[in-house]
Homo-oligomer: A and B are copies of this chain.
Amino acid sequence: MAAKTRPKPDTPDASDRVSRIREGVTAAILEHRLLPGTKLGEDEIGEIYGASRTLVRTALQQLVHEGIVSIEKNRGAFVARPTPADAREVFEARRLIEPTIVDHACDAVSPAWLDRLRRHLAEEREAELRGDARASVRLSGEFHRLVAEISGHSIYLGFLKELIARSSLIILLYRRHDTPACGTDHHAGIVAAIRKRDKAAAREQMLSHLTEIEAELFLKDPAADEMRLADVLGA
């Protein structure tokens, strides 16, 4: 009691201004409102959030570390454009990590968490029903993040946050446009396995879920940015 050295337990990352910027930009990228290659001017963002360039810069640098923004020296910040090689690495990492995460989630899950999962599935279904693609893609990523939170492993959670953010960009860039909706609802199956605490089933369903998502991608090297432009104009 002598040392009340740290009156506030922590400022996790939600209340300060730089986090507001970071989360705002992240949400915009994850919802596919900001497309890969988009210029993220410091003044521009600063004016939107009423912050000086110092804070914007801090936020952008954090996003660089998360892999969804790239900074080119003396040219500025841009929404990242993952290559097909990046995409393969990201999904391989997810196939390695996420089965382990659901495994732990089966151990750590509580009634409160199960309720949270149930509500999340309802949100996802509702977004899909009303055809809100932006909400759908955001919620789809948040589901995986939620499972990682349940697992209670902060390291895995941190890694997965990064992987999910990159996945969102990858799906936007490389998804085959002929695939129906978002496939059947694998998330519900995963939740069912977690509820039953059936680790083997949970791992298996998570793995097949990820495999199926990756199978819907067309990972052919576009050689470079110019290549893409040629494609678009040629069509």
Q: Chain A: residues with CB nearer than 8 A to chain B?
A: 2-3, 5-6, 11, 16, 58, 61-62, 65, 72-73, 86, 89-90, 92-93, 96-97, 100, 153-156, 159, 163, 225-226
Q: Out of B2, B65, B226, which one reaches A62, CB within 8 Å?
A: B65
Report Cα–Cα, A16/B159, bound state, in Å.
Answer: 27
Report Cα–Cα, A132/B160, bound state, in Å.
Answer: 37
The 8 lowest CB-CB distance pairs between A and B, nearest first, are A89-B155, A65-B65, A93-B155, A11-B73, A89-B153, A159-B159, A96-B100, A3-B226
Residue of B nearest to A65 (CB): B65
Report Cα–Cα, A62/B93, bound state, in Å.
Answer: 22
Q: How many of these chains are in the complex?
A: 2
> 21 A-B pairs, CB-CB below 8 angstroms?
A2-B226, A5-B225, A6-B72, A11-B73, A16-B73, A61-B61, A62-B65, A65-B65, A86-B154, A86-B155, A89-B153, A89-B155, A89-B156, A90-B155, A92-B155, A93-B156, A93-B159, A96-B96, A96-B97, A97-B97, A159-B159
Residue of B nearest to A92 (CB): B153
Q: Which residues of B contact A155 (CB under 8 A)?
A: 86, 89-90, 92-93, 163
Report Cα–Cα, A154/B153, bound state, in Å.
Answer: 22
Q: Which residues of B contact A97 (CB under 8 A)?
A: 96-97
CB distance from A199 to the nearest CB of B (A): 15
Residue of B nearest to A159 (CB): B159
Report Cα–Cα, A176/B82, bound state, in Å.
Answer: 44
Report Cα–Cα, A6/B74, bound state, in Å.
Answer: 12
Residue of B nearest to A96 (CB): B100
Q: Which residues of B contact A93 (CB under 8 A)?
A: 153, 155-156, 159
Q: Which of A3, A5, A155, A156 has the most chain B CB within a 10 Å cutoff? A: A155
Q: Which residues of B contact A153 (CB under 8 A)?
A: 89, 92-93
Q: Which residues of B contact A58 (CB under 8 A)?
A: 61
Report Cα–Cα, A159/B62, bound state, in Å.
Answer: 15
